[in-house]
Structure 1
Amino acid sequence: MINPIFTCSPSVDDQTLSSTWLPTDEELRRIKEFQEIERRGDAYQQYLRFGSGEEPSIVLDNFLFLGNRVHGSNLNLLERLQIKHIINAGETDISEKLPHDRFDIIYITMDDDIRTNIRQYFDRTNELLHNYYMKNERCLVHCAAGVSRSATIVLAYLMKYHHNTLKDAFHYLLEKRPQIYPNDGFMLQLLRYENELIKSREIVSTEETSKVNNPIETIQEFEKKQENQNQ
């Protein structure tokens, strides 16, 4: 089943951030802080040299994976990881490469553009992802590179359901997928979404969400653990 959702505007230079979103000085300061965190360490440099990886990153064990469009169209990989749901947040519909009777595919077409209103999708994607989580069904969220658009969708979900702040969610996801790099417009919208959740008290932690944590795993470690559990 394929569900197309809207279309967003083409890419523009980052200088339009201020005219598009009118960020405050404090918001610009916080965006810069996240940029500095993103650019630290060897993992991001490895991404600049080699790309977004041959396999998706495991965000939450037995549930949430984050990757690129190659992962999203690789039938063997999806079957091996027992993925049931796919959220494609890229600009290209690649679902024709997959059997539609075996995957639930949500296609949200958007550009990786600071003008793109990605906030409009958070409520829907959060609801979808948490439903999958509660049903113990696996989902891959991807865009072109698994770096900006899909990472933003995952951060919004983590912030609402599994972590108290954007900073907590960001550090957690960065540990799982070091190459994440949401554009400045997306980071600004995440900051404002954090404020929404704080005001509505939706990110108050519970005993259930506070226990959600898992060590960094490669796909090989993940599959080995599965084999041991099935023995």
Structure 2
Amino acid sequence: MGMQCHFRGVEFPSYVDELRDIVTTVEPRLRLIPEMRQHVSRFTDGADMDEVYPKLFLGDCDAATNEAYLLRNGITHILNAADNTSGPARVKTGAEFYKNPSIIYQGLDLLDMPFINISVHFEKASEFIDEALASGGCILIHCRQGRSRSATIVAAFLMLRRNMTAARALTLLRESREIRPNNGFLQHLADLDLKLFRAKFEKLQEEMSSSSDSDSEFDLESDSESDSSC
């Protein structure tokens, strides 16, 4: 991963090619899946989820459909990024699937295809995740394999609510789990990165302008006081 450039603490956004490099070159520091002493493949051994941020787990359909496993690991909220009403790779759960009333559910109608506009879900999903963590809960965000749709949603949350750039968010996730958002989703993260950068830069410009105006007013007052004392 290349060096992140910044100006007065505002990091410049990444191009989509840089994000693609991160999700193909950063080596995950894989930990054992909760409750498993050893495993051969994280995608064939059954329930599979990783804590990628405090109290925030990224996982697959087997974890999402094993309610006893979720409860043993303290999961209180579920965000299903594969709650599509049609198409492939759907995870058929829903609020009615979970019998324990302590589990709060939200689903996203979302296909794992490059032409899908996943960005329309960023704000709503980020709000749900933020509320879950703020309440002291523990949340699982999942899709079919926990690699593309759900990983993109978590990256957007980290950008929107935890002030991370796309590069930092994807690096953090990749270090904890073998994520691989499709190229279309990476482009949406790059677009969000640019949008957030522009907003931060405009705010910085306003602050610098306001500070400059205040300094000018101070200088004028000082000159006036000097004149009156002569």
Give the structure-1-normalised TM-score: 0.66
User: 1:93 & 1:123 partners in 2: Cα distance?
Assistant: 23
Quick one: structure 1 residues 42 and 88, their matched pair in 2 at CA, closer, same or farther if it must change by over 3 Å? closer
Whether 2:104 is the aligned partner of 1:112: answer: no
User: 1:49 & 1:166 partners in 2: Cα distance?
Assistant: 25
1:52–1:68: 8 Å Cα contact kept in structure 2? no
Largest Rg, 1 or 2: 2
Quick one: structure 1 residues 53 and 194, their matched pair in 2 at CA, closer, same or farther if it must change by over 3 Å? farther
Give the deviation of 1:52 after TM superposition: 7.9
Q: Name 2:6's counterpart in structure 1.
A: none
2:147–2:181: 8 Å Cα contact kept in structure 1? yes
Q: Name 1:198's counterpart in structure 2.
A: 197
Whether 2:47 is the aligned partner of 1:59: answer: no
Give the deviation of 1:81 after TM superposition: 1.2
1:89–1:109: 8 Å Cα contact kept in structure 2? yes
Alignment of 1:1-231 (within 5 A): 27=15, 29-37=17-25, 50-51=43-44, 54-61=47-54, 63-90=55-82, 91-95=90-94, 96-99=96-99, 101-177=101-177, 179-201=178-200
Give the deviation of 1:195 after TM superposition: 1.0
Q: Which amino acid aligns with 2:71?
A: E
2:79–2:106: 8 Å Cα contact kept in structure 1? yes
Quick one: structure 1 residues 113 and 59, their matched pair in 2 at CA, closer, same or farther if it must change by over 3 Å? same
Give the deviation of 1:162 after TM superposition: 2.6
1:77-98 Cα shifts (integer Å, max 9, x gaps): 1110121110001133323542
Quick one: structure 1 residues 188 and 156, their matched pair in 2 at CA, closer, same or farther if it must change by over 3 Å? same
Q: Number of residue pairs matched?
A: 174
User: 2:18 & 2:163 partners in 1: Cα distance?
Assistant: 18
Unaligned runs of 5+ in 2: 1-13, 32-38, 83-89, 204-230
SS of the residue 1:201 aligns to = helix
Cα RMSD (Å):
2.9
Unaligned runs of 5+ in 1: 1-25, 205-231
SS of the residue 1:185 aligns to = helix
* Percent identity for Structure 1 against Structure 2: 28
User: 1:50 & 1:187 partners in 2: Cα distance?
Assistant: 22
Give the deviation of 1:145 after TM superposition: 0.2
Q: Which amino acid aligns with 2:25?
A: I
User: 2:138 & 2:197 partners in 1: Cα distance?
Assistant: 28
